[in-house]
Amino acid sequence: MRRPRQDVREAVAQGKRLMLYVGQDGCPYCTALMRTNFSQAQIVEKTRRHFVAVALNLWGDREVTGLDGKALPEKAFARALGVQYTPTLLFFDEKGGLVVRLNGYYPPHRFDAALSYAAGIAGKGQSFAEYMKTAVKEPASATLHDDPLFRSSPVVMDGKKAVALLFVTPYCAGCDELHREGLKRPEVRRLLARFDLYRLTLDDPWARKLGIAYTPSIVLFDRGKEAFRIEAYVRPFHLAGALDYVASGAYRKEPSFQRFLQARAERLRERGAPVDLWK
């Protein structure tokens, strides 16, 4: 049995904070976190110095007693936390308060910066979004990518059509990759046509309103309300899945994005289509 409340106390006794990791077998982003991020000495050393790590299985049955004292199986605990992506990492301070939450995979240089913030050794007095604006530097295009499908502000949210807000910045390698690969895929283009699309920067009021800390991020709205968001590194298969999840209205009936993805992959395989979660 895992007891996060007790884990927090044990971490404090060691002068550390609690890092809660939620993953699943067969998750390529979890594999990237373990094999890529945690192969880097700086990340390993920082994690060991500042955190006690606890791992949970998104679909597990092991009992977990949360900070509120309620005991639940891992899968129910993850559902109560609203976990839609793996990996999801939650960092708690010495009082059990949530410091920062990473919904999805962060590449090493961004993950390293997030660890510094979660440990309380950087970004003091700033929100996570404010800190990440200037904490990460990476070689990338100095200009934003043009795409005729996307408009700029003002955003019209009238509820007549699903809306996708794409948040990008200059000097963002992930933004370059998204435009070079993800947004060029025929399946993704077909799904994008079902949305009113806007390209915004982190200076836009919508970024502050939605607490965007990662670029590129995509926030999807349906009927004028936020339905889903992508705020971590994403490959084209999962990008298409997220767009389909909202455009089809499936999110209203299936609250688990992971179950939707599994069913979608099976349908593609039955039609003879290749399925590669990392492509």
Boundary-marking domain end, from 116, 134, 152: 134
- Cα(76)–Cα(70) distance, integer angstroms: 11
Q: What is the pLDDT of residue 142?
A: 87
Please check the confidence at residue 10 and state whether its pLDDT lies above 90: no
Lowest mean pLDDT among 34-38, 62-66, 170-174: 62-66
Please check the confidence at residue 25 and state whether its pLDDT lies above 80: yes
- Cα(262)–Cα(270) distance, integer angstroms: 12
What is the share, in percent, of the chain residues with pLDDT greater than 90?
A: 82
Residue 245 placed within a domain: yes
Give 137 or 134, the one with higher predicted confidence: 134
Give the pLDDT mean for 196-201. 96
For 105, counting Cβ atoms within 10 Å of its Cβ (0-12 exposed, 13-18 middle, 19+ buried), the class is buried
Please check the confidence at residue 66 and state whether its pLDDT lies above 80: no
Please check the confidence at residue 28 and state whether its pLDDT lies above 70: yes
Which residues in the chain belong to E strands, given as ranges?
17-23, 51-57, 63-65, 71-73, 88-92, 98-103, 162-167, 195-200, 217-222, 225-230
Please check the confidence at residue 67 and state whether its pLDDT lies above 80: no
Residue 145 placed within a domain: no
Residue 217 sits at φ, ψ, to 5 deg, of: -120, 150
Residue 148 placed within a domain: no
Residue 154 placed within a domain: no
- Find where tokens 């000495």 sit: 41
Cβ count within 10 A of residue 212: 24
Say what angle helices 108-118 and 41-50 make with each other, to 10 degrees: 20
Domain match, 18 and 128 both: yes
Give 93 or 137, the one with higher predicted confidence: 93
Please check the confidence at residue 7 and state whether its pLDDT lies above 80: no
Give the pLDDT mean for 75-81. 94
- Number of domains comprising the chain: 2
Please check the confidence at residue 3 and state whether its pLDDT lies above 80: no
Predicted TM-score (pTM) of the model is 0.88
Give 233's pLDDT tier (boundaries 50, 70, 90): very high
Residue 31 placed within a domain: yes
Domain match, 57 and 119 both: yes
Judge contact between 52 and 18, C-beta under 8 A.
Answer: yes
Domain match, 250 and 204 both: yes
Give 2's pLDDT tier (boundaries 50, 70, 90): low
Q: What is the pLDDT of residue 171?
A: 87
Give 232's pLDDT tier (boundaries 50, 70, 90): very high
Please check the confidence at residue 273 and state whether its pLDDT lies above 80: yes
Boundary-marking domain end, from 114, 134, 154: 134
Half-sphere exposure of 101 (CA within 13 A, CB side): 14
Give 65 or 145, the one with higher predicted confidence: 145
Domain match, 245 and 191 both: yes
Q: What is the pLDDT of residue 249?
A: 97
**Domain limits at 79?**
4-134
